[in-house]
Amino acid sequence: MKITCTFLLSILLLMSCAKKPVYPEAPVSDGAIIINVRVLKEKSPVFYSLHHKDKRIDFFIVRVNDEVQSYFDACVKCYPEKLGYRVDKQSVVCKKCDVGYPIEGLKAGFGSCYPVVLMGRIEGGKYIIDRKDIIAGEKFF
């Protein structure tokens, strides 16, 4: 009985310490992250991580009305907490203050807790983010 209680307590402690989920590593090629636009579902953010030195920089890419946008998984106001966002239906919600923003309105960037913009571009059916632009956001992580 004592072993079972100790084991369960250990599991609970480990779960409570996990602040952010682990995202797939961003596909890097020739100094850029390259994503095939066709794999992006409308208003459904896809999260990635890029490891740089001792930091894991998280970001997400989303297609909205056939336009592709990208953002750091960091809030303008709450980034010091290092919690990022969760997806709830058609919104992203800050995990710190629980404020949600409709995915369709992210580009406008209104509010105190909206995601930090990450620049990217479309070339030949691919969405490209320069690795240096992701690394420039390491201060948020």
**Residue 62 resides in a domain:** yes
**Residue 84 resides in a domain:** yes
CA distance 90 to 73: 16
Q: What type of residue is 100?
A: G
Residue 54 predicted with pLDDT over 50: yes
Q: What is the pLDDT of residue 92?
A: 96
CATH, residue 83? 2.102.10.10
Q: What is the pLDDT of residues 114-133, one digit of tens each?
A: 999 999 999 999 999 999 99
CA distance 101 to 2: 46
Buried b (16+ CB within 10 A) or exposed e, 43-65: bebbbbbbeeeeebbbbbbbbbe
Name the domain count of the chain.
Answer: 1
Q: What is the pLDDT of residue 11?
A: 42
H or E stretch covering 133: helix 131-135
Rounded to two decimals, the pTM is 0.84
**Residue 2 resides in a domain:** no
